[in-house]
Structure formats: structure tokens, C-alpha cells
Amino acid sequence: MALGFDEPLRQNAGQFYQGERHMKGTVHYETRDNIALMTIDNPPVNPLSSGVRQGLNDGINAALADDSVKAIVLTGAGRAFIAGADISEFGGKAEGPSLHDCLNTMDASSKPIVAAINGTAFGGGLEVALCCHYRVIAPSAPVGLPEVKLGLLPGAGGTQRLPRLIGAAKALDFMITGDPIPGPKAKALGIVDEVAEGDVVDSAIAYAQQLIANGSPIRRIRDEEDIVAADRGNAEIFDNARKTAARKMRKRFAPEMIVQCVEAAVNLGDFDAGIKVEQESFAKCLQHPQRESLIHMFFAEREVAKIPDVPKDTATQDIASAAVIGCGTMGGGIAMCFLNVGIPVTSLEMNQEALDRGIGVIKRNYDIQVQRGRMTAEQVDQRMALLTGTTDYADLGQADVIVEAIYENIDVKVEAFQKMDAVAKPGAILASNTSGLDVDKMAAATKRPESVIGLHFFSPANVMRLLEIVRGADTSKETIATSMKLGRTLNKIAVLSGNAPGFIGNRMLGGYTRQAGEIILQGATPYQVDNALLQFGMPMGPFQMNDLVGLDLGWRARKLGGMKPEDVPITARVADKLCEMDRFGQKTNRGFYIYPEGSRAGQPDPEVVSIVEETSAELGISRTEIDDDEVLKRCLYPLINEGARILEDGIAIRPCDIDIVYINGYGFPEVTGGPMFWADQQGLDNILADIKRFGEAYGGPNWEPAPLLERLVAEGKTFASLQG
């Protein structure tokens, strides 16, 4: 029964302010018998924007002022309870009451407040629920404190309330990983009081009625000291948390801040003193550059799904079955991507032996998952049952999508497309996993270029999150929309690229590896270069990467192509010499590094340094000391310069698309926000000046400034300005 309060409060809380003061979001208010029901409404996921905060304050005060109201139930409209603070407000001036004002109002309420957690309760959303006196949850609703993923900590009392509820160790684990848990697990942990059996709002109202009937006391978590008192003096809890942070959140600023806040919760024995520590630490995180970068990544991940000329409502096809041509490392990994989400796959190889080998590797990969406790044997059986092997193209005819993952040679690929075209059913998507070849040439080999697209998975395909989707000149909007959707189904982050050599990622990589090769000839060691990039946050340096991929690949290709030694690029000379000594990298336990038997941790080798020095001498290059700052700039600035050209050529839609590619496909550190975002932070003018300086000193194609970079600098603009 509405009390007639719905409208006035809506005006007060949301619509009125939206008009007058540009506040965002609303809280609906109604009464059902003696219960005030407040429903947060800020589509699509109910973040705590200004209008929501205002509505929360006003609603609670209205309920307190109404003698007929005995308890309050708080829920969310739509699919979320509350997705957390409105992260688009960070870094700007927020209107309306602060979240802390709201929480203080709720905490002080003399009438019990019950959270009816209908859907996602993340970050500030869970913190609001923790400020309620009781919590009822829908079984499907996830709860989490994912602030750490945005470079933040739970700054609305979460670091102080959660340890008081579930103990410091579990609270720390929950906040340092930031991973959500489902409703029933939240109940098992003690975060919520009840899992609703039917409608969550009805259950919460019934719960509230029971509280009233029993005269139950208001339970304020802030007043509960027993659990944190029991943790006091147990230093191991915090040592373990720091170890987890170092392992899972390398180079992140926020985890240590979280640990310190929980230490305060445990050791200070005073809630308000703990809140003060939390607020100071939250402010430090808010000001830290990592926060800005990680929030950029959050929005960028959502932005890349938007393709200006492919509207959201473009029709898509159902992908209920797939075929993969080639069952080697890439093909097998791609098949696993489909199997992992329950899509049946037909795998094609040239002969039975290769097919058996490929399928054997897939099975072994799954068995390793079982050994590591990540899958059950039954799940492996289910996935393997979805896999069919064949050596006959005719067996691919019923697949909704066929992905070729064969040798990276355009003639071989064109032939595969002719065969795919001959057998595929009408409307099937024909995709290439090429990492840089011309998709239009493959499309031209078919009678259906509108159905041809590039689906560039990254190795290992079943692990890496990036999927570069390459549109050809004739690829239809429906094929693009279906492929983008397929990316989401496969739990990948899909980025659309234009069709040009190397697409986005590999085109940019050229300059990075070339510079690394040049720098070692001019004075640095491979170990110095790798170390500088590791310090920057890359998971491995370029020479470690070469060892992992195998130095012999390029060497063999050059030999097979009949390249004369004097024509070998100077940056490949050292690697080729190592190959002549059977040092192919990790696979032979020797490459740029020496790998003790069974270890992937390489050790520097003085012999390699001698080979590098000898090569410099042969080439007449005099060696001088190159500092780490120059190493970094020379490796990273070519990425940015080429990124600018890629934007100018329209190969990437937006700078943030490049950031997503580099972070998810090439290990660029997430805390930088990606190469283009990082470039803005460094100052494009500084980067341009260095590019010109390196051009004068060293010459070469990497140091010709991209016209877009020059224009942005001349206009005093950033890459971000291109996104509007």
C-alpha cells in the first residue's frame, strides 16, 4: 500500500533534483502495513549516485518520522541491489549528501532496517547492506567488495564492519581478491542472515515483521567487538594477507591499504577510530594514479563493445556448434574455448595421427586442471563428449561457425577458405585465426565475403582473455555483431580491428621488439632490458618472451626462405647465433637465458653477453651505457607512436580499444591503464620530444612521429580527447 509518499519523495530524492541540481537516481518510497519499503532505482545497476544518496537520507528520515512505520526494508529495482559507489563521480565534484552521511543516518536509525538483496550488491552496495541491521538475500544475488580491482578499498565502512562480522582473515581474503560470492555462500560466511526462499522483498518484509513481533534489538555491526578482539595479537593473519596481495595483486597500491585498515579494525578497538583510518586510506587510493588507470580500464572494457556503425539491436545468429580447422596449439586451445562453455566442436586435422595427437593434448590440458583441483573428472568427461574429431571437411557442414587455425601463410589460408566455403551451411560464419594476414584475401576465396571475419585468439587460447575481431571490407554487420557476442559467450574481451597487416596488437609490437634488439647491440644487456620492463610491470621482458616462444621459429623461417646471412636484420643476429648453437629458448633449456632442468626461471648467462658484444663489434656499433629510463622509453614509445597511426588509419575505433588489446593480449600492466592512457599521463609533448630526440640519435622508422601525435601536441590535446 503506497502512503501517497511515493511521489513527493521521488521528487525530493531523484526527479526533482535531477531537474534542479542534476542529481542522478531515485529512491521510491512506499509503505506496506507497518513497513517502509525503499527501492533504489538508478538503471541499469543502481550505483549510489547523488540522487540515490539523497533519496536514502530522505527515505530513512521519512520512515523515522512516521509513527506507523516500525521497520524499514531496503531493496533495488531491476537486476541489481546496488552496484557500489557511482564510479563516474570519482575525480569530480559530487553533489548531494556523502555516502557517509547516509550510512550515519542508517546506523543511527531507531527502527530496524533490513536489506532485501535482490541482485548484485558490490562495493558501496554491500557496505550499505552491512550498515543495515539485518540482511536477506536472493539465492542468485552475488555480493562482493571489488574496490581493489579499481585501485580502491571499501571506503564506506566495509573494512571495519566486515571483520567484525566474519573475522579479519576471511574479510581480508574477500577484499584483497575482490571476487564476488553467491548468496548462499554469503550466508555460510555469515555476511547475510537469511537466503530468501521466494520473493526476496516478501521474505525481507516477513523477516522485519518477525523482528518487530519478537521485539528483537537492533543489531549494529559497528558495536560488535568480540570477533575482532579474538583476532587481536594474531600477526599471522596480516602476514598471510600481505603474501596473498604480493602474489595475486603484484604492484598494486590498494591491497596494502586494505591490510592497514583491517589492522586498525582489529587493533584499535574503536569503530570510529577505524573509520578514520579507512577514510584517510581511501583518500590516498583515490589520489593514486592507479585508481584513475583502473577506472579507465573498467569503462574501456564496456566501451569496446560499442561499435559506432553496428547498432546494439543488430540481429545476431545463434552459435550452437563450432568447427575448428587445425588441432595444434592454437586450434586445440580454441576448441577448448568452445567446449568450456558447452558448445560442441568438430576438430579437423590433416590426418588421423595429427588429430589423435591434438585431441590427446586437449585431454591432457583438462587432466592438469583436475590435478590442480580446478575441475572434476566428470566435467572433463562432459567437455570431451562435446568434441568430435574428423579429417574430412564435409563433416564441418553443420557448424554455425568454422574457425581456421592453421599455418600462418596466406596461400594455405586461402585454400582452407575455399574448402570451408564449399561445405559450410548457408549463413555460417567463416573465421580465420590469423594474427595479421589479409582477411579480405581469404574472403575473396569464398562466395560469401559477408560471412568472413578474423577471430584472432591469443596463445594459450583457452587462457588469454583477448579476442581481436577483424572486419573485412565486406563483413556484414550481422557477422560482426554475432562475433562480438560470441566473444562474450566465450568469456573473452572482444575488440574490433580493421583489416591491416598485424591488425592492432601485432602491428604495434614490431617497434617494441625492434628497439629491444637494437638496444642490446648499442650497450645494454638482454637482462637489463628485460629487467627494466619487468620493473615497469610487464609479466616478462622481450628476451624472456623470445625464449618462451622459441628463437628457432624466426631462424628457421629465414633459413627456409633462403635469406643470406648479411640480409638478416641486425636485431635478429644475436638470436640466430644462439640458434646455431642449438639454443632455441626454454624448449632446449638454453636461449638468452639458461634454464635449470625443469625450471622456467631463466638465469643470465655471461656467454650470451659475450655473443652480444661480439655482434656489436662485427656490426661496427660502439657500445655505451644506456640507462633504464632510456631502455623503457625506447621500447614503449614506438608502441604509442604506432598506436597513433592505427587510430589515424581507423584500424582501432578508439584509444581505449588499443589499451584493452595491450593489457589483455600483451601483458601491458593494467595499473597503467594501457599504452595510450599511460601516454596521456606522461604528456604527449614529452613523448613527442623524446621521439624526435631518438630519431636524431638513432634514426629508423620507429622515430618518425605519427602525424596524429604531432597534431594532438600542437593543439594541446590528449588521446582521451579523441573519445569525446
Which window, 155-163, 248-256, 428-436, 520-528, contacts ligand 3H9 (CB under 6 A)?
155-163
Q: From the CB of residue 296, how many other CB atoms can be counted at a distance below 10 Å?
A: 23
CA distance linking residue 606 with residue 675, whole number of Å: 33
152 binds ligand 3H9 (CB under 6 A): yes
Instruction: Tell me which of 117, 137, 150, 529 binds ligand 3H9, using CB under 6 A.
Output: 150
Which window, 116-124, 128-136, 385-393, 432-440, contacts ligand 3H9 (CB under 6 A)?
116-124
Grid cell in block for residue 413: 589460408
In total, the chain counts a number of residues equal to 724
What are the residues whose beta carbons fall under 8 Å from the beta carbon of 229, sequence distance 6 or more? 269
Which window, 76-84, 208-216, 335-343, 450-458, contacts ligand 3H9 (CB under 6 A)?
76-84
Site for ligand 3H9 in 306-365 (CB under 6 A): none
Of 147, 263, 278, 468, which one is the catalytic site residue?
A: 147
Which window, 85-93, 195-203, 579-587, 605-613, contacts ligand 3H9 (CB under 6 A)?
85-93
Q: How far is CA 247 from CA 172, 255, 297, 478, in A?
A: 14, 11, 21, 42
CA distance linking residue 349 with residue 328, whole number of Å: 9
518 binds ligand 3H9 (CB under 6 A): no
Minimum Å gap between C-beta 640 and ligand 3H9 is 26
CA distance linking residue 713 with residue 338, whole number of Å: 45
CA distance linking residue 611 with residue 575, whole number of Å: 10
Residue type at 363 in one-letter notation: K
Instruction: Tell me which of 85, 262, 429, 467 binds ligand 3H9, using CB under 6 A.
Output: 85
Instruction: Tell me which of 58, 127, 278, 400 binds ligand 3H9, using CB under 6 A.
Output: 127
CA distance linking residue 262 with residue 565, whole number of Å: 62
83 binds ligand 3H9 (CB under 6 A): yes
CA distance linking residue 533 with residue 651, whole number of Å: 27
Instruction: Tell me which of 25, 51, 146, 274 binds ligand 3H9, using CB under 6 A.
Output: 146
CA angle 470, 473, 479 (to 5 degrees): 55
Strand, helix or coil for residue 255: helix
Minimum Å gap between C-beta 104 and ligand 3H9 is 13
Q: From the CB of residue 352, how many other CB atoms can be counted at a distance below 10 Å?
A: 11
Q: How far is CA 322 from CA 197, 317, 344, 432, in A?
A: 39, 13, 6, 13
630 binds ligand 3H9 (CB under 6 A): no
88 binds ligand 3H9 (CB under 6 A): yes
Q: How far is CA 682 from CA 157, 657, 678, in A?
A: 34, 19, 6
Instruction: Tell the residue number behind the cell numbers 570510529, with chain if given.
Output: 272
Measured from the CB atom, is 182 or 550 closer to ligand 3H9? 182
Which window, 146-154, 480-488, 565-573, 594-602, contacts ligand 3H9 (CB under 6 A)?
146-154
Instruction: Indicate the burial class of 537 (C-beta count within 10 angstroms; 0-12, 13-18, 19 or more).
Output: middle
- Kind plus residue range of the DSSP H or E element containing 496: strand 493-497
CA distance linking residue 32 with residue 39, whole number of Å: 13
Measured from the CB atom, is 3 or 286 closer to ligand 3H9? 286
Instruction: Tell me which of 62, 116, 137, 156 binds ligand 3H9, using CB under 6 A.
Output: 156
Torsion angle defined by CA atoms of residues 709, 714, 718 and 723, in that order, rounded to the nearest 10 degrees? -80
Instruction: Indicate the burial class of 570 (C-beta count within 10 angstroms; 0-12, 13-18, 19 or more).
Output: middle
Size of the site for ligand 3H9 (CB under 6 A): 26
Site for ligand 3H9 in 549-578 (CB under 6 A): none
Residue type at 694 in one-letter notation: F
What are the residues whose beta carbons fall under 8 Å from the beta carbon of 723, sequence distance 6 or more? 303, 654, 655, 656
Contact predicate 708/647, CB 8 Å? yes
Minimum Å gap between C-beta 318 and ligand 3H9 is 21
CA distance linking residue 45 with residue 47, whole number of Å: 6
Measured from the CB atom, is 152 or 652 closer to ligand 3H9? 152
Instruction: Tell me which of 25, 76, 84, 638 binds ligand 3H9, using CB under 6 A.
Output: 84
Strand, helix or coil for residue 612: helix
Minimum Å gap between C-beta 499 and ligand 3H9 is 26
86 binds ligand 3H9 (CB under 6 A): yes
Instruction: Tell me which of 26, 54, 105, 120 binds ligand 3H9, using CB under 6 A.
Output: 120
Contact predicate 79/44, CB 8 Å? yes
691 binds ligand 3H9 (CB under 6 A): no
Q: Can you list the pairs that 405-412 forms with residues at least 24 positions away whose Cβ atoms lie under 8 Å?
A: 405/324, 405/325, 405/326, 405/328, 405/330, 405/331, 405/334, 405/433, 405/457, 406/325, 406/326, 406/331, 407/326, 408/434, 408/435, 408/436, 408/437, 410/437, 410/438, 410/441, 410/442
Among candidate residues 675, 703, 708, the one with its CA nearest the CA of residue 690: 703
635 binds ligand 3H9 (CB under 6 A): no
Q: From the CB of residue 218, how many other CB atoms can be counted at a distance below 10 Å?
A: 15
x/- letters, 285..314, toward ligand 3H9 (CB under 6 A): --------------x--x------------
454 binds ligand 3H9 (CB under 6 A): no
Minimum Å gap between C-beta 702 and ligand 3H9 is 35
Residue type at 422 in one-letter notation: A
Q: From the CB of residue 500, how many other CB atoms can be counted at a distance below 10 Å?
A: 17
Which window, 79-87, 245-253, 359-367, 587-595, contacts ligand 3H9 (CB under 6 A)?
79-87
Minimum Å gap between C-beta 92 and ligand 3H9 is 12
Measured from the CB atom, is 47 or 673 closer to ligand 3H9? 47
Measured from the CB atom, is 295 or 325 closer to ligand 3H9? 295
Minimum Å gap between C-beta 98 and ligand 3H9 is 8
154 binds ligand 3H9 (CB under 6 A): yes
Q: What are phi and psi of 602, to 5 degrees?
A: -80, 150
Minimum Å gap between C-beta 149 and ligand 3H9 is 6
Helices (H), 182-225: 183-189, 200-214
Which window, 153-161, 181-189, 246-254, 621-629, contacts ligand 3H9 (CB under 6 A)?
153-161
CA distance linking residue 87 with residue 67, whole number of Å: 37
124 binds ligand 3H9 (CB under 6 A): yes
Q: From the CB of residue 215, how many other CB atoms can be counted at a distance below 10 Å?
A: 6
Measured from the CB atom, is 295 or 461 closer to ligand 3H9? 295
Grid cell in block for residue 712: 594532438
CA distance linking residue 122 with residue 44, whole number of Å: 14
Instruction: Tell me which of 147, 605, 642, 659 binds ligand 3H9, using CB under 6 A.
Output: 147
Q: Establish whether 147 is a catalytic residue.
A: yes
183 binds ligand 3H9 (CB under 6 A): no
Of 127, 278, 292, 468, which one is the catalytic site residue?
A: 127
Grid cell in block for residue 605: 648467462
Q: Establish whether 30 is a catalytic residue.
A: no
99 binds ligand 3H9 (CB under 6 A): yes
Minimum Å gap between C-beta 124 and ligand 3H9 is 3
160 binds ligand 3H9 (CB under 6 A): no
x/- letters, 28..47, toward ligand 3H9 (CB under 6 A): ----------------xx-x
Minimum Å gap between C-beta 14 and ligand 3H9 is 16
Minimum Å gap between C-beta 667 and ligand 3H9 is 23
Q: What are phi and psi of 500, to 5 degrees?
A: -150, 155
Minimum Å gap between C-beta 123 and ligand 3H9 is 2
585 binds ligand 3H9 (CB under 6 A): no
Measured from the CB atom, is 117 or 574 closer to ligand 3H9? 117
CA distance linking residue 493 with residue 189, whole number of Å: 32
Residues that bind ligand 3H9 (CB under 6 A): 44-45, 47, 80, 83-88, 99, 120, 122-124, 127, 146-147, 150, 152, 154-156, 158, 299, 302
Give me the active site residues, please: 127, 147
